[in-house]
Amino acid sequence: MHLRHELRRIFSAALSAAAAAGDIPDDSDDLSLTEMVRATTDAKFGDYTATVAMPLAKRAGKPPRQVAEAIIAKLEPGEWFDAPQAPVGPGFINLTVKNEALGRIVAEAAADPRLGVPPVETPSRIVIDYSSPNVAKPMHVGHIRSTVIGDALARILAFRGHEVTTDNHLGDWGTQFGMILWGWKHCRNDTAYADNPTAELGRLYRLVRKAADAKPEELANDPEAAELAAAHPTLARDVLQETARLHEGDEENRTLWASFMPVCQAEIDRVYTRLHVHFDHTLGESFYQPFLGEVVEELLAKEIARESRGAIGIFTDGEEKPPLLIRKADGAFLYATTDLATIRWRMQHWKPDRVLYVVDHRQSQHFRQVFAAAEAWGYGDVDLVHVAFGTVLGEDGRPFKTRAGDTVGLEALLDEGVARALEVVATSQAARAGDAMPVEEQQAIAEAVGIGAIKYADLSQNRATDYVFSFDKMLELKGNTAAYMQYAVARVEGIFTKGGIDREPLREQLKQGEISFSDPRERALALQLARFPEALDEVEADYRPSSLTAYLYEVAGAYSTFYDALPVLKAEGHERTARLALCDLTGQVLRHGLELLGITVPTRM
Ligand code: ARG
């Protein structure tokens, strides 16, 4: 049951009826009007309030209260809502969900695998391009955001009923390979490579990059890199040449590249396994190389691209502004060329209605231009969206770095999160009397809590802004954190264990009989639970998983208020059944909600 959909339906009927009677202007098929219903924050204004009378009054030049009254006169509240009272203030129309209706919604949702969430009416085919790290460089904290946000969006959109295809658009063809190739040829350690190939490639990458790019003062405390830089004054250029050779098809470099790729893939796969992230496809930049030449030719032939100082570009912002370059004067293709080839390939093979690019906000300009170019090229039907996110900052408010000033490696970060979570788990275990938890279980919980904390801290931020990475905050057991939410699930589910109650027969029973709520705290929780579909709508509206975390946090809060005040297991008869139903659905909504965010929930904590 989706209460807001129902409201939209009854408002749209009321608007048509009022328009037909000549009481309001006849623009009721303006859909945005029926969208003007929102959840109230204060129960004294009902559960939902509609603001539609105000814009309509303005259009009609009538007093808004009069318009509101005309709408109310035609409003058929149906089976879910009480008849509205007179308008409030300048013309707000407040609606309250019927008590019996809430009982029915909770009972039905508790027994429904979809928890009362209807699938979207018109499913779309959605491609999500996320994670997409540049391989052969160690993954760092910046990669968390794309990976975690993209994964949550993929899960949520699929649950809503869309046809989702995920694609990890690996940066597997970039200049980092020039450094590795050069390093391989000049400084490799074969024993180290045989022992741990990823570590050796990582070492070569860091060493050569430093020797090629670092300023003299940065080289001062790295004798090995300093020596290398001194011995090879043209290193920066030599490295670029290795990349160019790879791109031109040089045998040796291609063979080496092909031997490095599985190693790089294994490295990032370790992180994905740990994060429980999985991709339908991993078509990296290298996959599109065979098509780049023809893409440029086609864009030239269609006069979408043209020559500019020896290079080829697309003037997406007019003649005055710099074009989007797709071929350099030396013949090399660019990041944008690959992105255009990718759009073409996806349209040919997957025919998406929408493509989401979950990528750092610093690439906004790139995507704006690529999208404009794609539209000019004839891909105007697909909705291309840059789901941008801000930078991860340290507690000093600057981009998150280690004490030594390096970017923080992702695996080390996950390890630290889990280690810290283990301390929290062990401390709370030690404080608890009675049955000690086996160490392996504590470990498993720490993994779920530590990784969950890192994911949740990221997902609960407004993705568009920068956020401050703080282990202390994200592992707090109070407040809007994963640990608090995971603990809430364990608490709710614990009731059933404690009471020896089997939830399946309870759900069967709920399907048969009616339940009703008499206490306002029961009602408040029931209403929150009924809003799960609305929270998921909000996530999709602007691709913000934080709408879901905020919602789950409110559910947990409503549950605490309810549970702290009212007995459940000690209640009797209908009251007990109704409260158990609330507990059951709360547990399911929280658990499922966290799973949609990619967060594992231990059964006990
Ligand atoms: N590899 C790129 C980077 O690390 C991100 C790629 C995003 N996806 C895309 N289709 N451009 O900056």
Residues in contact with 153: Cβ distance below 8 Å, sequence separation at least 6, in sequence order: 128, 130, 356, 358, 387, 539, 543, 545
- pLDDT tens-digit series, residues 68-118: 999 999 999 999 999 998 888 888 999 999 999 999 999 999 999 999 999
* Separation of CA 402 and ligand 1 centre (Å): 24
Cα 470 to ligand 1 centre (Å):
26
Distance 553 CA to ligand 1 centre (A): 32
Report the C-alpha gap between 370 and 122 in whole angstroms. Answer: 27
Contact between 389 and 460 (Cβ < 8 Å): no
pLDDT at 402: 67
Task: Give domain status of residue 41, yes or no.
Answer: yes
Last residue of a domain, one of 274, 289, 321: 274
Cβ–Cβ < 8 Å for 212, 229: yes
C-alpha distances (whole Å) from 492 to each of 24, 102, 524, 571 are: 49, 20, 17, 16
Total domain count for the chain?
2
User: What digits encode the pLDDT tens for the residues 474-499?
Assistant: 988 889 999 999 999 999 999 999 99
Residue 347 CA to ligand 1 center (angstroms) comes to 18
Of all atoms in ligand 1, which is nearest to the CA of residue 370?
11
* pLDDT score at 19: 87
CA angle 403, 406, 407 (to 5 degrees): 110
In a domain, 215, yes or no: yes
* 182-204 pLDDT per residue, tens: 999 999 999 999 999 988 998 99
* Residues contacting residue 121 through CB under 8 Å, at least 6 positions apart: none
Last residue of a domain, one of 81, 97, 113: 97
Task: Pick the atom of ligand 1 nearest to 363's CA.
Answer: 12
pLDDT for res 29? 60
Determine the atom of ligand 1 nearest the C-alpha atom of 174. Answer: 1
Of ligand 1's atoms, which has the minimum distance to the CA of residue 366? 11
Structure tokens, 289: 């190389």
Please give the share of the chain, as a percent, with pLDDT higher than 70: 98
Ligand 1 atom 4, closest CA: 133
**Residue 393 neighbours by CB under 8 Å, 6+ apart:** 399, 400, 466, 467, 468, 469
- How close are the terminal C-alpha atoms of the chain, in Å? 32
Q: Which atom of ligand 1 is nearest to the CA of 143?
A: 4
168 C-alpha to ligand 1 centroid (Å)? 9
Nearest atom in ligand 1 to the alpha carbon of residue 170 is 1
| Count of Cβ atoms closer than 10 Å to residue 96 Cβ | 20
Q: How far, in Å, from the CA of 134 to the mean position of ligand 1?
A: 8
pTM of this prediction?
Answer: 0.94
Q: Which residues line ligand 1 (CB under 6 A)?
A: 129, 132-134, 169, 171, 339, 342, 357, 359
pLDDT for the residue 420: 93
CB-based contact 577:514 (threshold 8 Å):
no
> Residue 18 falls within a domain, yes or no?
yes
Whether 532 maps to a domain, the answer reads no
The domain that holds 13 is classified in CATH as: 3.30.1360.70
| Residue 438 domain-assigned (yes or no) | no
Q: Is 122 within a domain? A: no
CA of 193 to the centre of ligand 1 (A): 28
Parent domain of 244? 171-274
Of 72, 97, 122, the residue that ends a domain is: 97
Q: What are 327's two structure tokens?
A: 């071929």
Q: What is the whole-number distance in angstroms between the Cα of residue 133 and the centre of ligand 1?
A: 7
CA 300 to chain centre: 37
518-537 pLDDT tens trace: 899 999 999 999 999 999 99
Within-domain flag for 210: yes
CA-closest residue to ligand 1 atom 1: 171
Q: For ligand 1, pick from 287, 359, 364, 382 the residue to mutate: most ligand atoms within 8 Å of CB.
A: 359
Mean pLDDT value across residues 267-291: 96
**Which atom of ligand 1 is the closest one to the Cα of 357?**
8
- Assign 476 to helix, strand or coil: coil
**Both structure tokens of 105:** 């919604």
Shared domain for 90 and 185, answered yes or no, is: no
